[in-house]
Amino acid sequence: MSEDKKIKISIKHLYKIFGEHPEAALEDVRAGMGKPELLSERAHVLGLQDINVDMQEGQITVIMGLSGSGKSTLIRHLNRLIEPTAGEVLVDGEDILKWDERRLRKLRRETMSMVFQKFALLPHRTVAENAGMALATRGFSKKEFEGEAEKWLNRVGLDGYGNQYPHQLSGGQQQRVGIARALASNSPIMLMDEAFSALDPLIRTDMQDLLLELQAELHKTIVFITHDLDEALKLADHLVILKDGAVVQQGEPQHILLNPADPYIEDFVADINRARVLRVRSIMRKGETTGEFSGDVDYNSNLENVIAQAQGQLDRSYRVMRGSEAVGSVHMSDIMQALVPRESSSDADQAA
């Protein structure tokens, strides 16, 4: 991750406890009480526990975990749809938990846009009116916002659909309207809560590709929620994995895949197609650029491409190029080693 990137959103020591007396329950949690005990002994639910995450400007932070891990609860703290029990949420260095309702409305209208899992389109409004909804809430007339709405509808592949209504579109097309609406707001931050999980697999892949294409051009700060590890590894610049309301591991996705922090993460990543996900840059021998090589490979190529280039020959080695610069080398022995995941805890238990 580039060190000169600005921190756009910073979450510090964030807790959320659901129940009648969350402040009292917070003392129990800080004293070491876990989620099951808090529920059985105090009848409170631990939603988030001491969350600390920095989100870099212009990057995609993916927050993932299984159902009940707290990921959707977390994203709703960023625009204060949910109020925390304790902690801070800093946007551009300011704690939004101290803001009044007027500043919050401005944040939601101009700084943060949101793309929902269920599309959240207004059925009685045209596609163009839905795409321009964020601008309409700021007081723009239809005549004033329709040009911007049409521009982004075209950009997401919906040229000519502006006068249709949501029910006339497929699910994938409706989600494109949702993305166009978020982009038309011109907000620097996009929150995407399970935005693609309701879509069919092929459409989902198309939407992921579209998001990455748009991000390469626009450099938004995106917070993306998912329960799908393949999707997370494809999209994330920074990956945060939650379990029972707490961060288990966070960092660059390639690093997490190669260096799982504990047995939970080892199990989590055990079944991933590592050849398709891992990049040459993550396993190359940096600075080793002289000697006999079988050819050149790109710094960002996945290992699957290198294996195909080697045609199954295990004695091959390649010089790694980043643009026109040689930055290292990769050997087939390195690739074979990277393809073997660490022994997961379940495998170890079976062996025992």
Interaxial angle between packed helices 35-42 and 22-30, expressed in degrees from 0 to 180 and rounded to the nearest 10: 140
DSSP string of 88-143, one letter each residue? EEEETTEEGGG--HHHHHHIIIIIEEEE-TT----TTS-HHHHHTHHHHTTT--HH
- Between CA 161 and CA 169, with CA 166 as vertex, the angle to 5 degrees is 65
- Geometric angle at alpha carbon 48, from 87 and 231, rounded to 5°: 115
Domains contained in the chain, CATH given: 56-251 (3.40.50.300), 274-338 (3.90.1280.20)
pLDDT of residue 1: 41
Q: What is the mean pLDDT of the chain?
A: 89
Q: Which tens digits make up the pLDDT trace of 119-171?
A: 778 899 999 999 998 888 888 888 888 888 999 999 888 999 999 999 999 88
Q: Is 60 exceeded by the pLDDT of residue 349? A: no
CB 289 within 8 A of CB 327: yes
pTM of the entire predicted model = 0.85
User: Both tokens of residue 186?
Assistant: 């011109």
Q: Express each pLDDT in 15-64 by its tens digit.
A: 999 999 999 999 999 999 989 999 999 999 999 999 999 999 999 999 99
Confidence of residue 345 (pLDDT cuts 50, 70, 90): very low
CA nearest 9: which of 178, 220, 254, 261? 220
Q: Model confidence over 309-319: pLDDT tens digits?
A: 998 789 999 99
Q: What is the mean pLDDT of residues 318-329?
A: 93
pLDDT tens, residue by residue, 161-216: 999 999 999 888 888 898 899 888 889 999 999 888 878 888 889 889 989 999 99
